[in-house]
Chain A
Amino acid sequence: MKKQQAIKIAAAAIIALAGIGMITTTTVYDDVYDSIVQVLCLSCLKLEPVTESDYTFETANGQPHPDYVLQNLTTGVVFLHYSEDACHGCDIMYPIIKELFQIEFGKEDMVYYEVPYHDQIVHYYYTNIDHSTEERGDGFFIYDKEHIGGLPMFSIVTVGYDSGIIRPYYTSLYGTLTLDTDEERLEFLQTIMHESIELWNENHGAYHPEEQ
């Protein structure tokens, strides 16, 4: 009996040590924190955030806009696409984005394209939260204007006039845009892009990234 108990205690100790070893020597704790705890699982929720396309100057977490956004705004609108591996909404939206910009990329890639769009340049950034760098991943929290924390998220950054200065002006859209068909989603994104490009055309002349 005592021998059996000793074996069980040893087994518990080995499992505990393996667990502690795993937490201290691998990135598993951060992986769970970043991809399960920090990011809202819309699949688990069975809900989608309501899409509100109003623009704002204020970043969601008060942090400054990333440099790559500020610099690229001098030449065109910036489109930030955030996604993750296991995400039903993300799977619905991939083909729509690909059609919108006529581009190709893999689900796990981290890509940047300078896309010609209606005689303008659009800076397209695709970030899969599960396979991104810290800098690109942080953007998700900077532009999560509704504080949803869910994926997919699309942030369209343009420039706008704010009390005497031209500043980055953005909107963020979530999930499958609360629309039923792919055609409606594509049309909605095209309308937003059109608005953003108009704003950019009106204001970019007086935009200076170093003033931000």
Chain B
Amino acid sequence: MKFQHKRLLTQLLIFLSANLRPFGVKTGFCFPFFYCNACPTATSGCPLRALELSVFENNYKWKLLTYPLLILGFLGVLTGRGICAWACPIGLFQRGTAKIARRVKKTPLAKKLGYHPIEQYLRYAKYFVLIGLVFFTSAIIGFMFTDICPIGFLTGTIPTLTLFWGKFVPSSFFIVALIVFILFIILIVLIERGWCRYFCPLGALLAPFNKVSLLHVARVEEKKFQKECLHCNACSNICPMGIDVTKLNRDPECILCGKCIEVCPKNLIHFEK
């Protein structure tokens, strides 16, 4: 079985395990990835919901803060952002839209924008989403990221409206959330893994672990790499996170999908423990 097929199979199995409520499976764990507890079939709770509740209106609940951080921290130390590529259902969803995004990537405008210097700085937006929308507004204003979360809309609102037609009506946040959701769809259709790159607050939590994780993607030793690299750029071109793999050094954006490893004609990139 091809490596990418193994990854797809893992993603599908984890997606199934996240949707076992119809079989009576409900747990008090937090998902280690982005998935909404309001989904009618969700097995566990969203870690962001727990984090929001932990600081909501300045009522600090250390247990709800520490618990999801320990779950994410454990997996982060082991695999860094590997969860994004191997477990996250939203990663799986974006895998489905990647073909269109790759076609768009070839257009001159997308190329120009893709190499624009501002693109690198946009990646910091996810840290602002995490600190600003998940923690700050929940603590100070009482407004929560989950009120407008596009993942909640995708995995909670749409399935609920479909399965329980006529039982629910839009709330006051529906229109804003719908606009955010449409922007989310446009983003991931235009840019491969655009959500993971720029806005995912869980990606922001996991990204720093890439610097210390046990498993990571690495180049072979520098001398050998410089000597043997064909500069074909196949690794960077295939990277769904838009990383310049030839300069890869424990990049916080790397999601360990292994595509660069597979595509390198000289086997100069590998998983390292």
A and B, one complex? yes
Instruction: Choose from A9, A19, A45, A89 the contact partner of B70 (Cβ within 8 Å).
Output: A19
Instruction: Choose from B71, B78, B152, B161 the contact partner of A12 (Cβ within 8 Å).
Output: B78
Q: How far is the CA of A176 from the CA of B169 in the complex (A)?
A: 11
Partner-binding segment picked from A31-39, A109-117, A183-191, A194-202: A31-39
Indicate if the CB atoms of A45 and B168 lie closer than 8 Å.
Answer: yes
Contacts of B173 in A (CB 8 A): 43, 46, 88
- Determine the residue in chain B with the shortest Cβ distance to A11: B77
Instruction: Choose from A9, A31, A34, A85 the contact partner of B59 (Cβ within 8 Å).
Output: A85
In the assembled complex, A163 has its CB within 8 A of some CB on chain B: no
In the assembled complex, B38 has its CB within 8 A of some CB on chain A: yes
Q: How far is the CA of A207 from the CA of B70 in the complex (A)?
A: 54
Q: How far is the CA of A36 from the CA of B29 in the complex (A)?
A: 10
Tell me the minimal C-beta distance from B220 to chain A in angstroms.
15
Q: How far is the CA of A146 from the CA of B160 in the complex (A)?
A: 14
Contacts of A88 in B (CB 8 A): 147, 171-173
Beyond the given pairs A22-B70, A26-B63, A44-B38, 19 more chain A to chain B contacts, judged by CB atoms under 8 angstroms and listed by A's residue number, are A12-B78, A31-B63, A32-B28, A32-B67, A33-B27, A34-B28, A37-B27, A45-B152, A45-B156, A47-B157, A48-B168, A48-B171, A49-B169, A50-B167, A50-B169, A86-B53, A86-B144, A88-B172, A88-B173
Q: How far is the CA of A27 from the CA of B28 in the complex (A)?
A: 10
Indicate if the CB atoms of B168 and A44 lie closer than 8 Å.
Answer: no
Interface residues on B, range: 35 or more
> Which of A44, A89, A176 has the most chain B CB within a 10 Å cutoff?
A44
Contact with A along B140-177 (1 / 0, CB 8 A): 00101011110011001100110000111111111001
- Determine the residue in chain B with the shortest Cβ distance to A7: B212
In the assembled complex, B73 has its CB within 8 A of some CB on chain A: yes
In the assembled complex, A98 has its CB within 8 A of some CB on chain B: no
In the assembled complex, B257 has its CB within 8 A of some CB on chain A: no
Indicate if the CB atoms of A49 and B168 lie closer than 8 Å.
Answer: yes
Q: Which residues B203-233 have CB closer than 8 A to chain A?
A: 212-214
Q: How far is the CA of A175 from the CA of B167 in the complex (A)?
A: 12
- Determine the residue in chain B with the shortest Cβ distance to A89: B171
Contacts of A206 in B (CB 8 A): none
Contacts of B142 in A (CB 8 A): 86, 91
- Determine the residue in chain A with the shortest Cβ distance to B55: A86
Given A22-B67, A48-B169, A37 and B37 touching (CB < 8 A)?
yes
Instruction: Choose from B57, B64, B70, B178 the contact partner of A18 (Cβ within 8 Å).
Output: B70
Indicate if the CB atoms of A28 and B161 lie closer than 8 Å.
Answer: no
Instruction: Choose from B36, B56, B170 the contact partner of A44 (Cβ within 8 Å).
Output: B36
